[in-house]
């Protein structure tokens, strides 16, 4: 059966399943829309949480990121998994006991302030939209390759699917849809990982494959180091980032994970406080199944990519051969996510360090016209007057988007068509599951925290549900715009969202749980300082004119959330210490949160 037919069957079948579940589990009340009625079993909630959190960044982009940056990618692995330990130990049971199922609701009630609630709503919306931008881009990438449509059309298709099960089903529909999506995405990631590991190393488990000895007598990591150095890259096992930058990035991702609004709300969909902690443990196990395989998938993919593009002898592969024998290159070239510029005119593809296209800052803008070998040209592909092949015999001629590595791995390795189709279905499941959770958080923040709790407390349950669905529709449209006009590659955008969560939401929740003296003035000042400082730094260095040599203490934009969190805590502590203590009843509620006997259904608030 052809790849196109299998892809339509796998992706179409998964869509039908998701929509069917959404219709079956359609929310009929605000409690079902917001927290699935509070009756989801812990193991199902753990699977839904894992799917909610393992986004397009985890499935599509993270292995690609590690493939290209090597050891520095460990910060993402440690941060995004370690954050769940923080979440399970420091947040989930206490927030569940407090009984407020949104971050703004907790902050508004804990700090007895509508101003704090509104600021928390703003933080939630900024974080969620930054995060969802990466998910919609991931959807567009998958559809552009496997459904043979452009990325923009792929984003629109994804918007339509999300509309059905997020707007109709709410949290109840999303939860049970995400259980199915977890099963799809974990199969879609691990099956090709097993194939790749067996093919490259002879070991079936990717978790131990990096240390395996290849035909050249060296391990996968040693081979990667040698290939990287030969092509002008830094060693795969050496890092470019400073120790402080790696530390700050890891902490930002950990604390950001623990402070993500769409993950926190998951712990209100279970019946009891105890179940919240149990479901966090399940989620960590389910997440580990994918994350422990990522380093192997990244390494195997990098070896395959270099050896395929540069040919057996390292002098380059014929473009004509890549078109006919390895059709994946032209198929991905048509999406605009890989490109070749024949700079020395030899008709061979040479992949090495450096930009293939002058002035492109990595990513080329493709034209429909074709070069002499049939390759798609970039707008600046001919702007190469200063190139001298005699002086630069190994100059890079290939642009590879980091986000295609996991999706292209089965193509490059020439795995069976059904495996490639399964990967497509898994990538869509990963992107859509997280997008739905984020969009629900945005709609809840607007309908519940802004409309119901702030602007008009007298609206009925039915009106609130209508506002939630209208807000979800608007959020889907905005998310689609960000998917069509992404501010960066998937993992980069998502890392920025985690940094914002780390600087704004996480410290307010932690201090609200563990410091009874923390008052509304301190929380408001801390959130504003953390959010604004981190947003300004990220904008200036990630999207503005800032350069790496201007980084504060060498800390990159993704890691600055840690600095923002420190500023938040310091400002919050100073302001709270200089102003009046919280009301006595608030201090009693906070003190009661940490009493062990409260971890039963009888003491749920």
Please give the pLDDT value at position 169.
Answer: 54
* pLDDT at residue 600 is higher than 50: no
Whole-number Å distance between alpha carbons of 598 and 605: 9
Please give the pLDDT value at position 372.
Answer: 67
With H, G, I as helix, E, B as strand and everything else as coil, classify residue 193: helix
Distance, CA of 236 to chain centre: 23
Rank 32-46, 149-163, 166-180, 185-199 by mean pLDDT and report only the highest. 185-199
Whole-number Å distance between alpha carbons of 206 and 190: 9
* pLDDT at residue 288 is higher than 70: yes
Please give the pLDDT value at position 315.
Answer: 77
* pLDDT at residue 389 is higher than 70: no
Helix axis angle for 74-86 and 62-69, nearest 10°, is 140
Please give the pLDDT value at position 537.
Answer: 92
Average pLDDT, the chain: 78
Whole-number Å distance between alpha carbons of 516 and 533: 26
The residue with greater pLDDT, 316 or 36, is 316
The domain ranges of the chain are 3-300+416-603, 312-412
**Average pLDDT rounded to a whole number, residues 299-305:** 87
* pLDDT at residue 599 is higher than 50: no
Token duo for residue 337: 């996510």
User: Tell me: the pLDDT tens digits for 252-274?
Assistant: 988 888 777 777 777 777 777 77
User: Tell me: the pLDDT tens digits for 137-159?
Assistant: 777 777 777 777 777 888 888 77
The residue with greater pLDDT, 125 or 488, is 125
Q: Look at residues 129, 48, 116 and name the one whose alpha carbon lies nearest to residue 497.
A: 129
Q: What percent of the chain has pLDDT over 70?
A: 84
- Quote the pTM value: 0.77
User: Tell me: the pLDDT tens digits for 437-482?
Assistant: 777 777 777 777 777 777 777 777 777 777 777 877 787 788 788 7
CA contacts within 13 A on the Cβ side of 563: 20
Please give the pLDDT value at position 354.
Answer: 77
Whole-number Å distance between alpha carbons of 429 and 532: 33
Please give the pLDDT value at position 323.
Answer: 72
Reported as a pLDDT band with limits 50, 70 and 90, residue 330 is confident
β-partners of residue 366 are: 378
What does R_g of the chain's alpha carbons equal in angstroms?
24
- Please name the residues in contact with 385: beta carbons below 8 A apart, sequence gap of 6 or more: none
* pLDDT at residue 388 is higher than 60: no
Token duo for residue 14: 């998964």
Please give the pLDDT value at position 247.
Answer: 92
Whole-number Å distance between alpha carbons of 496 and 500: 6
The Cα-based distances of 254 to 469, 496, 503, 561 in angstroms read 31, 13, 12, 10
Please give the pLDDT value at position 528.
Answer: 93
Whole-number Å distance between alpha carbons of 163 and 161: 5
Task: Give backbone dihedrals phi and psi of 211, rounded to 5 degrees, phi first.
Answer: -90, 0
Q: Cα–Cα–Cα angle for 146, 148, 150, nearest 5°?
A: 110
With H, G, I as helix, E, B as strand and everything else as coil, classify residue 366: strand
* pLDDT at residue 75 is higher than 60: yes
CA-CA-CA-CA torsion sign (473, 477, 479, 480): positive
CATH number belonging to domain 3-300+416-603:
1.20.1730.10
Whole-number Å distance between alpha carbons of 63 and 444: 32
H, E, C per residue of 306-364: HHHHHCCCCCCEEHHHHHHCCCHHHHHHCCCCEEECCCCCCCEECCCCCCCCCCCCCCC
**Average pLDDT rounded to a whole number, residues 489-507:** 77
Q: Are 489 and 402 in contact (CB under 8 A)?
A: yes
User: Tell me: the pLDDT tens digits for 163-177?
Assistant: 766 665 555 667 777
Reported as a pLDDT band with limits 50, 70 and 90, residue 603 is very low
* pLDDT at residue 391 is higher than 60: no
CA contacts within 13 A on the Cβ side of 9: 12
* pLDDT at residue 489 is higher than 60: no
Whole-number Å distance between alpha carbons of 402 and 56: 12
Residue in this structure with the two tokens 């199922």, named with its chain if needed: 101
* pLDDT at residue 64 is higher than 80: yes
Question: Per mean pLDDT, which range of 86-90, 381-385, 401-405, 452-456 is the poorest?
Answer: 381-385
**Average pLDDT rounded to a whole number, residues 2-14:** 82
**Average pLDDT rounded to a whole number, residues 1-28:** 75
User: Tell me: the pLDDT tens digits for 530-582?
Assistant: 999 998 998 888 777 788 888 898 898 888 999 999 999 999 999 999 999 99
The Cα-based distances of 26 to 19, 43, 62, 179, 245 in angstroms read 10, 21, 33, 16, 45
Whole-number Å distance between alpha carbons of 408 and 145: 10
Question: Per mean pLDDT, which range of 8-22, 181-195, 346-360, 546-560 is the poorest?
Answer: 346-360
User: Tell me: the pLDDT tens digits for 202-256?
Assistant: 888 888 878 888 777 888 888 888 888 888 888 888 878 888 999 999 999 888 8
């Amino acid at each position: 059966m052809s790849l196109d037919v299998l892809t339509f069957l796998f992706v179409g079948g998964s869509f039908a399943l998701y929509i069917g579940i959404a219709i079956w589990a359609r929310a009929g009340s605000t409690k079902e829309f917001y927290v699935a009625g509070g009756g989801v079993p812990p193991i199902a909630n753990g699977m839904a949480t894992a799917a909610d959190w393992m986004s397009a960044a985890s499935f599509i982009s993270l292995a690609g990121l590690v493939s290209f940056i090597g050891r520095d990618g460990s910060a993402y692995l440690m941060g995004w998994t370690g954050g769940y330990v923080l979440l399970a130990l420091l947040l989930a049971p206490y927030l569940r006991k407090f009984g407020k199922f949104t971050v703004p609701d907790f902050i508004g009630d804990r700090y007895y302030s509508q101003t704090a609630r509104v600021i928390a709503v703003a933080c939630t919306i900024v974080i969620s939209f930054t995060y969802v931008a990466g998910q919609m881009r991931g959807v567009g990438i998958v559809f552009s390759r496997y459904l043979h449509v452009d990325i923009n059309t792929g984003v629109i298709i994804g918007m339509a699917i999300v509309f059905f099960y997020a707007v109709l089903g709410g949290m109840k529909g999303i939860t049970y849809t995400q259980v199915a999506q977890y099963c799809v995405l974990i199969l879609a990631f691990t099956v090709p990982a097993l194939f790749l590991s067996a093919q490259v190393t002879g070991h079936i488990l990717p978790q131990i494959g990096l240390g395996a000895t290849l035909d050249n007598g060296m391990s996968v990591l040693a081979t990667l180091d040698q290939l990287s150095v030969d092509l002008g890259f830094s060693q795969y096992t050496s890092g470019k980032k400073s120790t402080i930058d790696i530390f700050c990035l890891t902490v930002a991702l950990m604390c950001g994970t623990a402070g993500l609004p769409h993950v926190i709300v998951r712990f209100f969909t279970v019946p009891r406080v105890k179940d919240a902690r149990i479901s966090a443990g399940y989620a960590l196990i389910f997440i580990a199944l994918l994350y422990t395989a990522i380093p192997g998938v990244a390494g195997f993919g990098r070896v395959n990519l270099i050896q395929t593009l540069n040919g057996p002898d390292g002098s380059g592969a014929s473009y004509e051969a890549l078109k006919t024998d390895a059709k994946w290159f032209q198929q991905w070239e048509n999406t605009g996510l890989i490109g070749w510029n024949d700079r020395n005119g030899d008709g061979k593809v040479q992949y090495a360090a450096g930009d293939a296209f002058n002035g492109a800052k990595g990513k080329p803008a493709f034209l429909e016209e074709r070069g002499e070998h049939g390759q798609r040209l970039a707008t600046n592909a001919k702007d190469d007057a200063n190139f001298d092949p005699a002086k630069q015999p190994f100059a890079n001629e290939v642009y590879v988007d980091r986000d295609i590595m996991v999706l292209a791995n089965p193509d490059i390795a020439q795995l069976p068509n059904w495996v490639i189709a399964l990967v497509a279905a898994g990538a869509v499941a990963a992107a859509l599951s997280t997008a739905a959770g984020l969009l629900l958080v945005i709609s809840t923040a607007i309908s519940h925290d802004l409309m119901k709790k702030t602007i008009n407390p007298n609206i009925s349950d039915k009106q609130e549900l209508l506002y939630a669905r209208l807000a979800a529709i608007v959020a889907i449209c905005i998310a689609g715009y960000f998917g069509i006009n992404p501010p960066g590659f998937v993992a980069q955008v998502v890392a920025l969202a985690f940094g914002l969560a780390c600087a704004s939401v996480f410290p307010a929740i932690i201090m609200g749980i563990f410091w009874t003296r923390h008052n509304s003035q301190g929380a408001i000042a801390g959130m504003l300082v953390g959010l604004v400082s981190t947003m300004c730094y990220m904008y200036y260095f990630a999207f503005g004119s800032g350069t790496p040599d201007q980084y504060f203490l060498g800390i990159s934009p993704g890691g600055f959330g840690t600095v923002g969190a420190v500023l938040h805590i310091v400002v919050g502590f100073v302001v709270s210490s200089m102003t009046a203590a919280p009301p006595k009843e608030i201090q009693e509620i906070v003190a009661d949160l940490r009493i062990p006997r409260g971890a039963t259904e009888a003491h749920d608030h």
